[in-house]
């Protein structure tokens, strides 16, 4: 397919707000694409060149794209800036200056050029990226230039998510969403939509999903816990359970092969192996050729060897001298599950079986520690262990059904987290992971920060619904951190998928990139917040760098928290 025809599909998607219509347009696009290019089209339609865990990024800021457009069309940078201020979209700016011509380039040719540009590194790489991108733009028609420009700067906003692509693949084959669940289950195990689309195009959905298994180097979406407050209800729903300690650490999925840690993924599928030099020696402690392990990386105080808070562990990300920092705050990996062993998936085995595997393959040591667990079907014993963990300074207990398989995502009553002692109704049982949707200008002493309060929301079927505004209880450092994180995400128009009451609209809209952990006294019904509920007395707990917007708390979870609170 020529890039010009592909751009016309992207234009149709941009002008469509109905999710079902977007799904049908994508399904039609998949029919027209060849099996050799469908993966590339999927990536580009999502505004990427590869899944996030592959680490392919442009690092081309808007100011660099302004120079690129100036060079491509031989116009003054001042004129590009002027037009940008007028329309607020560099893609539209590029289409305005582009020559009216028909491009002969195919999707593959454009993709390969973009991938080559993104891969440029070292001295002079920025200038090379600008010149090569300018050369590509000169060979594109105005509409194609518009959409190609938006990809490097992360502004290809077409109003759909990975889930919509999954639905579209089902529509492509059976004209409805009846095979979406099969595809989504496969995607949770192998989150590369391009490769999945290519397999579907080649052999069909049924054969494609049967051939998808965990793979070293490709993250599996982690299994997540539900929330319940009562130990009696937990036993009633789950039967025999294992009670584990819940640590305040960073969830890390360790990929191991031939004596080496090849990758280490967070919950949002980012590779953080470089954060943890401790992983270099993992081969000494594992009796396996290959494995994927689920763990919690817990920071320790180097003097007292007591556990430190999550944010101190995460501070390694912002340190250049990682080895020095690793001495100051060493880490233990609390290993609590196994997904793959010697090339064979063990996700279908029971919790008890997977725990037996961990006992066999990990040698005793102080860095890679297999979590203890306690089996019971007695609510009083659950309460007792939970209280014991809290008294030790842990977050509480993780309760896991003894016969459960490893199932990515938050489904069924397989894992439950308890973070508070059982109390009377009216107390919020857990924190909430919210996406920052916008912020308002600071006034008075906050004017120096540029932020007075931020609007936060939760996830619901591809949309973001407001649930609170947070502006009190933040330290000066937190306000500064907010400004730093949000300033590059500001956009002129409300993003597609944001549902916000007019009375709650912020001064500045931001892209849904920053996830924050919010604590509150309780949930109350709200006529204005689009979630239908609001957090009362919200407090910023932490920035969740390990989570993406797709992993924010969902409306269903919030409604469940509200029900728990009322008991």
For 60, the 3-state DSSP assignment is: coil
pLDDT for the residue 104: 93
pLDDT band at 317 (very low <50, low <70, confident <90, very high): low
Report the CATH number at residue 446: 2.40.50.140
541 falls within a domain: yes
For 491, the 3-state DSSP assignment is: strand
97 falls within a domain: no
User: Is a pLDDT exceeding 70 seen at residue 42?
Assistant: yes
Q: What is the DSSP string of 498-518?
A: EE--GGG--SEEE-TT-EEEE
Pairing of strands 415-418, 226-227: parallel
pLDDT band at 376 (very low <50, low <70, confident <90, very high): very high
Report the CATH number at residue 327: 3.30.470.30
Whether 15 is catalytic: no
Cβ-based neighbour number of residue 151 at 10 Å: 23
pLDDT for the residue 423: 47
d(CA 273, CA 258): 16
Looking at the structure, tell me whether residues 250 and 321 fall in a common domain.
yes
pLDDT for the residue 464: 95
d(CA 306, CA 513): 32
Q: Give the residue, 264 or 394, on which the prediction is more confident.
A: 264
Looking at the structure, tell me whether residues 288 and 396 fall in a common domain.
yes
Query: Helix, strand, coil: what percent of the chain each, to 5?
Result: 40, 20, 35
Percent of the chain at pLDDT > 70 equals: 93
What are the tens digits of pLDDT across the range 120-166?
988 999 999 999 999 999 999 999 999 999 999 888 878 788 999 99
Looking at the structure, tell me whether residues 351 and 499 fall in a common domain.
no
Which whole-number Å values give the CA distances from 342 to 219, 255, 554, in the listed order?
A: 16, 11, 35
**Quick one: average pLDDT of 395-417?**
92
pLDDT for the residue 496: 80
Percent of the chain at pLDDT > 90 equals: 67
pLDDT for the residue 320: 63
User: Is a pLDDT exceeding 60 seen at residue 9?
Assistant: yes
d(CA 506, CA 495): 12
**Quick one: average pLDDT of 517-534?**
93
521-524 contact pairs (CB < 8 A, 24+): 521/427, 521/428, 522/426, 522/427, 522/428, 522/565, 523/428, 523/558, 523/561, 523/562, 523/565
What are the tens digits of pLDDT across the range 66-87?
999 999 999 999 999 999 999 9
pLDDT band at 444 (very low <50, low <70, confident <90, very high): low
pLDDT for the residue 425: 44
pLDDT for the residue 142: 96
**Quick one: average pLDDT of 428-441?**
89
Residue numbers of the domain that contains 444? 432-566
User: Is a pLDDT exceeding 80 seen at residue 428?
Assistant: no
pLDDT band at 446 (very low <50, low <70, confident <90, very high): low
What are the tens digits of pLDDT across the range 320-348?
667 766 777 788 999 999 999 999 999 99
289 falls within a domain: yes
Looking at the structure, tell me whether residues 439 and 553 fall in a common domain.
yes
Looking at the structure, tell me whether residues 266 and 403 fall in a common domain.
yes
User: Is a pLDDT exceeding 60 seen at residue 99?
Assistant: yes
Looking at the structure, tell me whether residues 442 and 294 fall in a common domain.
no
Give the residue from 432, 425, 435 showing the smallest Cα distance to 455.
435
User: Is a pLDDT exceeding 70 seen at residue 401?
Assistant: yes
The answer to whether 225 touches 409, Cβ cutoff 8 Å, is no
Of the residues 418, 444, 473, the one at which a domain ends? 418
Task: Compute the mean pLDDT over every residue in the chain, rounded to the nearest whole number.
Answer: 90
440 is written with which tokens? 């308002």
- The model carries a pTM of 0.84
The answer to whether 49 touches 40, Cβ cutoff 8 Å, is no
Q: Give the residue, 421 or 431, on which the prediction is more confident.
A: 431
168 falls within a domain: no
pLDDT for the residue 52: 87
pLDDT for the residue 480: 87
Beta-carbon contacts of residue 475 (< 8 Å; ≥ 6 apart): none
The answer to whether 375 touches 300, Cβ cutoff 8 Å, is no
pLDDT band at 190 (very low <50, low <70, confident <90, very high): very high
Q: What Rg do the C-alpha atoms of the chain give, in angstroms?
A: 25
User: Is a pLDDT exceeding 90 seen at residue 471?
Assistant: no
398 falls within a domain: yes
pLDDT for the residue 304: 67
pLDDT band at 29 (very low <50, low <70, confident <90, very high): very high
Mean pLDDT lowest among 214-223, 286-295, 415-424: 415-424
Q: How many domains does the chain have?
A: 2
pLDDT for the residue 445: 60
Which whole-number Å values give the CA distances from 51 to 54, 72, 205, 255, 269, in the listed order?
A: 6, 29, 20, 17, 9
pLDDT for the residue 228: 79
Looking at the structure, tell me whether residues 309 and 448 fall in a common domain.
no
pLDDT for the residue 164: 92
394 falls within a domain: yes
Looking at the structure, tell me whether residues 260 and 288 fall in a common domain.
yes
Mean pLDDT lowest among 159-173, 300-314, 462-476, 539-553: 300-314
Of the residues 364, 385, 418, the one at which a domain ends? 418
pLDDT for the residue 424: 42
Looking at the structure, tell me whether residues 275 and 407 fall in a common domain.
yes
**Quick one: average pLDDT of 192-211?**
96
Looking at the structure, tell me whether residues 378 and 235 fall in a common domain.
yes
**Quick one: average pLDDT of 242-254?**
93
Q: What is the DSSP string of 134-197?
A: HHHHHTS-HHHHHHHHHTTTT----S--HHHHHHHHHHHHHSSSTTHHHHHHHHHHS--HHHHH
Of the residues 389, 418, 447, the one at which a domain ends? 418
d(CA 472, CA 15): 39
Q: What is the DSSP string of 271-317?
A: B-GGG-GGGGGGGGTB-SSEEEEEEEEEEB-TTT--B--HHHHHGGG
pLDDT for the residue 420: 63
255 falls within a domain: yes
Looking at the structure, tell me whether residues 445 and 334 fall in a common domain.
no
Query: How many residues in total does the chain contain?
Result: 567
pLDDT band at 426 (very low <50, low <70, confident <90, very high): very low
1 falls within a domain: no
Beta-carbon contacts of residue 189 (< 8 Å; ≥ 6 apart): 212, 213, 214, 220, 221, 347, 408
Give the residue from 468, 462, 481 showing the smallest Cα distance to 520.
468
- Among the listed residues 246, 400, 469, 547, the single catalytic one is 246
Q: Give the residue, 309 or 551, on which the prediction is more confident.
A: 551
Looking at the structure, tell me whether residues 373 and 409 fall in a common domain.
yes
């Amino acid at each position: 397919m020529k890039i010009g025809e592909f751009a016309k599909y992207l234009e149709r998607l941009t002008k469509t707000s109905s999710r079902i219509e977007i799904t049908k347009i994508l399904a039609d696009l998949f029919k027209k694409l060849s099996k050799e290019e469908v993966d590339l089209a999927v990536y580009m339609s999502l505004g990427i060149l590869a899944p996030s865990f592959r680490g392919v990024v442009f690092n081309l800021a808007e100011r660099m794209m302004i120079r690129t457009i100036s060079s491509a069309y031989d116009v003054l940078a001042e004129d590009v800036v002027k037009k940008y201020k007028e329309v607020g979209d560099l893609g539209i700016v590029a289409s305005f200056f582009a020559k009216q011509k028909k491009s002969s380039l195919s999707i593959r040719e454009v993709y390969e050029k973009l991938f080559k540009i993104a891969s440029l590194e070292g001295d002079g790489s920025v200038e090379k990226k600008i010149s090569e991108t300018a050369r590509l733009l000169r060979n594109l028609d105005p509409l194609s230039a518009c959409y190609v420009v938006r990809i490097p700067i992360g502004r290809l906003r077409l109003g759909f998510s990975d889930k919509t692509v999954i639905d579209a693949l089902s529509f492509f084959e059976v004209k409805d969403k009846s095979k979406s669940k099969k595809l989504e289950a496969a995607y949770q195990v192998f989150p590369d939509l391009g490769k999945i689309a290519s397999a579907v195009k080649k052999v069909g959905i049924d054969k494609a999903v049967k051939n998808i298994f965990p793979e070293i180097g490709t993250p599996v979406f982690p299994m997540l816990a539900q929330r319940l407050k009562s130990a009696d209800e937990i036993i009633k729903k789950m039967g025999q359970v294992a009670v584990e300690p819940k640590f305040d650490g960073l969830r890390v999925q360790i990929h191991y092969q031939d004596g080496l840690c090849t990758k280490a993924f967070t919950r949002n599928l980012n590779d953080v192996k470089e954060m943890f030099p401790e992983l270099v020696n993992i081969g000494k402690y594992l009796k396996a050729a290959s494995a994927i392990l689920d763990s919690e990386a817990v920071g320790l105080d180097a003097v007292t060897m007591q556990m430190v808070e999550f944010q101190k562990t995460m501070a390694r990300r912002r340190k250049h001298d990682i080895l020095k920092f690793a001495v100051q705050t060493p880490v233990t990996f609390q290993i609590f599950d196994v997904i793959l062993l010697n090339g064979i998936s063990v996700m279908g085995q029971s919790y008890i079986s997977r725990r037996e595997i961990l006992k066999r393959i990990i040698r005793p040591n102080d860095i890679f520690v297999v979590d203890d667990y306690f089996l019971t079907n007695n609510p009083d014993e659950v309460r007792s262990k939970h209280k014991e963990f809290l008294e030790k300074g842990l977050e509480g207990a993780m309760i896991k059904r003894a016969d459960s398989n490893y199932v990515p995502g938050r489904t069924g009553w397989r894992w439950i987290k308890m973070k508070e002692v059982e109390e009377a109704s009216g107390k919020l049982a857990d924190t909430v992971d919210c996406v920052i949707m916008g912020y308002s200008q600071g006034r008075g002493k906050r004017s120096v920060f540029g932020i007075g309060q931020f609007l936060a929301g939760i996830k619901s079927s591809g949309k973001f619904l407001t649930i609170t505004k947070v502006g009190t209880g933040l330290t000066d450092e937190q306000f500064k951190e907010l400004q730093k994180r949000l300033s590059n995400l500001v956009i002129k128009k409300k993003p597609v998928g944001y549902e916000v009451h007019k009375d709650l609209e912020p001064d500045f809209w931001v892209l849904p990139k920053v996830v924050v952990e919010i604590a509150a006294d309780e949930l109350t019904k709200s006529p204005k917040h689009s979630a239908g509920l609001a957090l009362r007395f919200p407090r910023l707990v932490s920035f969740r760098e390990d989570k993406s917007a797709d992993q924010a708390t969902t409306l269903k979870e919030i409604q469940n928290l509200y029900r728990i609170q009322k008991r």
